[in-house]
Amino acid sequence: MSKVYSVAVLVGSLRKASINRKVALALADLAPATLSLKIIEIGDLPLYNEDIDVNPPASYTAFRQALGGCDAVLFVTPEYNRSVPAPLKNAIDVGSRPYGQSSWGNKPGAVISVSPGAVGGFGANHHLRQSMVFLNVPMMQQPEAYVGNAGALFDDAGHLSEKSKPFLQSFIDAFATWVEQHKK
Ligand code: FNR
């Protein structure tokens, strides 16, 4: 039997009705058997502050342990003001410390940005990639995933539209291959 890789899924929106969260759950359903996706919550992480990290809050420690225990990471995020939403950037910063003990290193990663707008969160997608280069996370290049007009992704009952399924399927299948190739 082939190995099953655990994937930490970080959702950049904290709101209950988040389209990005729905996309994350849809990807978990579509994922091939070699990937096990699990959302790691980021909403209760205090804003990163080196002073409080001298005695880290329990939420920092739990987040670092959860992330560190996973083989790979998947970001599903909206764009806020053409960049990464603050809660997600905060989670990236929390995971990167204490200095020399980053929880990110060498985990294969991917990002899918999702927006009701036409540009599909391109700015957030690439700003996030910039941080991940520094944190030594090899990010999947293709397929790029800028999902625009996201209001049409789900019907009133919350089901993913048939039209959207093939792209999300190709994205998560490519990520499974990426993880196998890059996981050391
Ligand atoms: C937005 N939104 C947004 N959309 C976009 O495509 N580019 C942007 O730069 C912004 N900027 C922005 C800033 C802030 C503060 C908010 C609250 C929203 C709109 C955003 O894409 C929309 O609210 C999405 O629905 C958010 O994703 P979730 O919450 O549905 O997952």
Tell me the per-residue pLDDT of 116-172, one tens digit each, with 9 for 90 and over. Answer: 999 999 999 999 999 999 999 999 999 999 999 999 999 888 899 999 999 999 999
Note whether 68 and 103 are within 8 A (CB).
Answer: yes
155 phi/psi in degrees, rounded to 5: -80, 180
Which residue is closest in CA terms to ligand 1's atom 14? Answer: 80
| Structural domain boundaries, residue 136 | 5-183
Percent of the chain residues topping a pLDDT of 70: 99
CATH code, domain with 26: 3.40.50.360
Tell me the per-residue pLDDT of 27-44, one tens digit each, with 9 for 90 and over. Answer: 999 999 999 999 999 999
Q: What is the pTM of this model?
A: 0.98
- Which ligand 1 atom lies nearest to the CA of residue 82? 9
119 lines ligand 1 (CB under 6 A): yes
Q: What is the distance in A from the centroid of ligand 1 to the CA of 115?
A: 6
Task: Give the span between the Cα atoms of 52 and 75, in whole angstroms.
Answer: 26
121 lines ligand 1 (CB under 6 A): yes
79 lines ligand 1 (CB under 6 A): yes
CA distances from 73 to 17, 43, 49, 50 (A): 22, 17, 24, 24
Note whether 114 and 120 are within 8 A (CB).
Answer: yes
Strand ranges, E, within the chain: 5-11, 35-39, 72-77, 109-114, 146-147
Domains held by the chain: number = 1
Tell me the per-residue pLDDT of 74-93, one tens digit each, with 9 for 90 and over. Answer: 999 999 999 999 999 999 99
Note whether 172 and 31 are within 8 A (CB).
Answer: yes
Sign of the C-alpha dihedral computed for residues 45, 51, 53 and 56 taken in this order: negative
Residue 154 has a CB neighbour count (10 Å cut-off) of 16
125 lines ligand 1 (CB under 6 A): no
81 lines ligand 1 (CB under 6 A): yes
- Which ligand 1 atom lies nearest to the CA of residue 21? 31
Residue 51 has a CB neighbour count (10 Å cut-off) of 6
83 lines ligand 1 (CB under 6 A): no
